[in-house]
Structure 1
Amino acid sequence: MPRITPLQKPYPEEFAQRMNALMRGADPLVLFTTLAKHDRAWAKFGGGSLLDKGSPLGMRQREIAIDRTTARTGCEYEWGIHVAGFAPHIGLTDAQIRATVHGDASDPAWTDDSERVLIATVDALLDHKKLTDVEWGALTAHFSEEQALEIVQLVAFYHGVALICGALDLPLEATAARFPAV
């Protein structure tokens, strides 16, 4: 069990409506029901999310950034949700899924230069908490300023999600993917 007991059914009407729209009939994630026990935590979490349709990034770019961030932060919970939910729709190969966990930007699974730069950017942000001028130049050679800012925000948000999941010791979702073996 997680360290905070998740919200139980019947859910408050507003939460239930939001989950119906977001989860499309599936049960809400433990992360959501746990945070929703406290209005402020839930509101702040929802306000920071970047999964809306207004993203300047394509879904594949967004998901690669999320998968790499959650893999590098050891957050199998969130990585598994995103891989199970999005990888088939964005065309991630088994080798690319594995590379989000065990590879780096030079992994042969990444054949697109912009995706190599995306992986390198996530790694630089997590390793050094900033980008050098050279790293920023590489990023903006492939992504607009607006997209680059979105990538930085995705890494920051999902680093925070990893901290939340780890602190709350959330159990893995039954339908989520698991980290591949080494």
Structure 2
Amino acid sequence: MTSVSPLAPLADQDWPEALADLRTGFAGRLNIYRTMAHHPDLLRAWSGLRDHIVHHTALGPVRAEVVILRTGFRLGSEYEWQQHIERARAAGLSDSRIATTMGPKAAMNDEDRLLTDAVDELFDTKRLAPATRQALLAAYGKAALLDLMATVGFYSTLGFILNSFETPLDEDIADRLAAHPFDP
């Protein structure tokens, strides 16, 4: 017997009036945000951080996708993983490089290993080791270091929501993945 999520993605007819301006933008396009729309104040507050993390991160699109993929993998979030196969491809990552973000680390290039080590440390020890912190600072600078940590936190929150409410993958993403399967 399948349970029905108490926070299933909202359909257009159920969309909160307080978020009318967000329905035709990012929030209306993805099931995760249609789920978050159950709490209009949270989704509205979330939108500014989302804009920074998605569009203005000092990590750049490729490094950000490596961090997001590893975070999705660590969370066991199928939605996040599948959705970011699409985004990683768009950022220029090959399927084989995307696959390495799951490990083993010996298969990763040095940059991806540093980024995934940072994600793993945040999950495992709730902090960055001094050596990892120094390596990230030297390679990318202060803003990127903070953006990495914010990205892990941001996508962890999304993963908690996705996993808790069994949010389904968006049909358009599922269709594109079916047409162009992930082939590491």
How far apart, in 1, do the equivalents of 2:63 and 2:143 lie? 13
Correspondence 1:74 to 2:46: no
Deviations 1:68-107, CA, capped at 9 Å, x for gaps = 11111111111211212x1222221121111223x14332
Residue of structure 1 aligned with 2:22, choices 18, 25, 38? 18
Percent identity, please: 29
How far apart, in 1, do the equivalents of 2:36 and 2:85 lie? 22
How far apart, in 2, do the equivalents of 1:88 and 1:14 lie? 34
Deviations 1:5-25, CA, capped at 9 Å, x for gaps = 3322244567454343337xx
Correspondence 1:93 to 2:103: no
Q: Tell which has more relative contact order, 1 or 2 (C-alpha 8 A, sep 6+).
A: 1
CA contact 1:83–1:97 (8 Å) conserved in 2: yes
Unaligned runs of 5+ in 2: none
C-alpha RMSD of matched pairs (Å): 2.7
After TM superposition, the structure 1 stretch with the greater mean CA deviation from structure 2, 126-135 or 49-58, is 49-58
How far apart, in 1, do the equivalents of 2:123 and 2:129 lie? 13
The structural deviation recorded for 1:122 is 0.9
Deviations 1:38-72, CA, capped at 9 Å, x for gaps = 21232243243243533222111111111111111
The structural deviation recorded for 1:180 is 6.9
Unaligned runs of 5+ in 1: none
1:106 alignment counterpart: 106
TM-score between the two structures when normalised by the length of structure 1 = 0.81
Secondary structure class of the residue paired with 1:171: coil
Count of residues in correspondence between the two structures = 174
* Structure with the higher helix share, 1 or 2: 2
1:118 alignment counterpart: 115
Amino acid at match of 1:99: T
2:6 alignment counterpart: 3
